[in-house]
């Protein structure tokens, strides 16, 4: 029965299945955990808490240029989007409420990507200083 519930929960309108991932913290939402929807408008209201600029100001450290190419707001690229809404875990949804967004100097939700959990993609080619030929990254399976 649990497997059927999970399969129904991850089915998308186009008939495919996709893991439920929080747009704010990039965690996979599993089991009976509540899935919330968060609008692009609400994300924009929290821009001062979840942007690259906010991250760099808070940590007093610039993000690596490869990460800058991947982000403007520090949000999960794996999260499902339907119209102007993204899926979000209950913890991040409550942390992104308007009352918290309006507080000056308020930090992002505890597990938010913008709270020091910045992730990115490995480039397929790396240029190592002192070497003439760039090295290709090959995944080991």
SS3 content of the chain, % helix, strand, coil (to 5): 30, 15, 50
**111-141: per-residue pLDDT in tens?**
888 887 766 655 666 677 777 777 666 666 5
**66-115: per-residue pLDDT in tens?**
777 777 888 988 898 989 999 999 999 999 988 887 777 778 888 888 88
More confident residue, 118 or 17: 17
Name the most confidently modeled range: 2-6, 9-13, 46-50, 68-72.
Answer: 46-50
Cβ–Cβ < 8 Å for 50, 24:
yes
Look at residue 85 in the predicted model and tell me its pLDDT: 93
Sign of the Cα torsion 14, 15, 18, 20 reads positive
Q: Is the pTM of this model over 0.75?
A: no
Cβ–Cβ < 8 Å for 14, 71:
no
Q: What is the C-alpha to C-alpha distance for residues 109 and 100, in angstroms, rounded to an integer?
A: 10
Cα three-residue angle 36-70-103, rounded to 5 degrees: 50
Look at residue 13 in the predicted model and tell me its pLDDT: 77
């Amino acid at each position: 029965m649990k497997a059927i519930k999970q399969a129904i929960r991850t089915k998308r309108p186009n008939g495919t299945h996709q893991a439920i991932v929080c747009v704010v913290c990039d965690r996979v939402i599993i089991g009976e955990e509540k899935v919330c929807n968060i609008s692009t408008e609400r994300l924009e209201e929290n821009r001062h808490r979840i942007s690259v600029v906010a991250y760099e100001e808070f940590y007093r450290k610039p993000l690596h240029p490869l990460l800058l190419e991947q982000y403007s707001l520090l949000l999960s690229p794996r999260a499902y989007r339907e119209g102007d809404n993204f899926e979000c875990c209950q913890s991040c949804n409550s942390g992104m409420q308007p009352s918290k967004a309006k507080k000056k100097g308020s930090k992002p939700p505890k597990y938010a990507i913008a709270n020091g959990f910045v992730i990115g993609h490995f480039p397929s080619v790396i240029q190592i200083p002192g070497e003439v030929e760039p090295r290709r990254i090959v995944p080991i399976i």
